Amino acid sequence: MRPTLDKKCRLCRTEGVKLYLKGDRCFSAKCPFERKGAIRPGMHGQKRAGKLTDYGLQLRAKQKAKRIYGVTETVFKNYYLKAKKLKGQVGDNLMILVERRLDNIVYLAGLSLSRSHARSLVSHKNILVNNKVLNIPSYSVQVGDVISLKDKIAKNIGDTLRVADKDFQAPEWLDLNKGKYSVKLLALPTIDSNHNGIDINLIIEYYSR
């Protein structure tokens, strides 16, 4: 058994939805969520959970967002505090900040199998930003920035990445060049009230207590 893999799969069952933390495995029959459904992990997982309080709903929404983007509590709260200082809706600002993370852009562009894989690629200096190596997964990508895989990495693993799928499409605010394994941020991410299945309002309520 692979503890790290099992732990990530258990997170999906804890939240009751797929968080797509393991890339292609999440779309295969091997996915534990497909076999076990939304049953919570542990010996009491099949017991019906009681109705969540307002606080419980807020907490679950926040935990779900953290787990999807792979950030710690401190980092996520700092994004919230920064979002409060920006013009516009706090919830939209918060999600735009996390969506603009370098590891997230690499994932959305299909240049990695998962967000954790994207973080690994960035940390190991396999990602270029404007043709320069940048190994900070949390880097906030700016409009006009071009992100690409190193040629050696693209040659070695390019065919296994999501971008190699002929039907793969990146969000409309990204300009993806599949042939060059590169992507350009055209505009700020577009956010809706249930972005990635995350109830943003519940997160704001959690931090506003």
Q: For the chain, list the domains and their CATH numbers.
A: 1-50 (1.10.1050.10), 101-185 (3.10.290.10)
Give the whole-angstrom CA distance, residue 140 versus residue 131.
16
Give the whole-angstrom CA distance, residue 101 versus residue 97.
7
Using the 8-state DSSP alphabet, how is residue 140 labeled?
A: B
Please, which residues have CB within 8 angstroms of residue 92's CB and are 6 or more apart in sequence?
Answer: 191, 200
Per-residue pLDDT of the chain in tens (209 residues, 90 and over written 9): 344 445 555 655 565 555 555 555 555 566 555 555 555 555 555 555 568 899 999 999 999 999 999 999 999 999 999 999 999 999 999 999 999 999 999 999 999 999 999 999 999 999 999 999 999 999 999 999 999 999 999 999 999 999 999 999 999 999 999 999 999 999 999 888 677 789 999 999 999 98
Give the whole-angstrom CA distance, residue 203 versus residue 190.
18
The pLDDT value recorded for residue 115 is 95
The pLDDT value recorded for residue 192 is 80
The pLDDT value recorded for residue 21 is 59
The pLDDT value recorded for residue 18 is 53
The pLDDT value recorded for residue 1 is 39
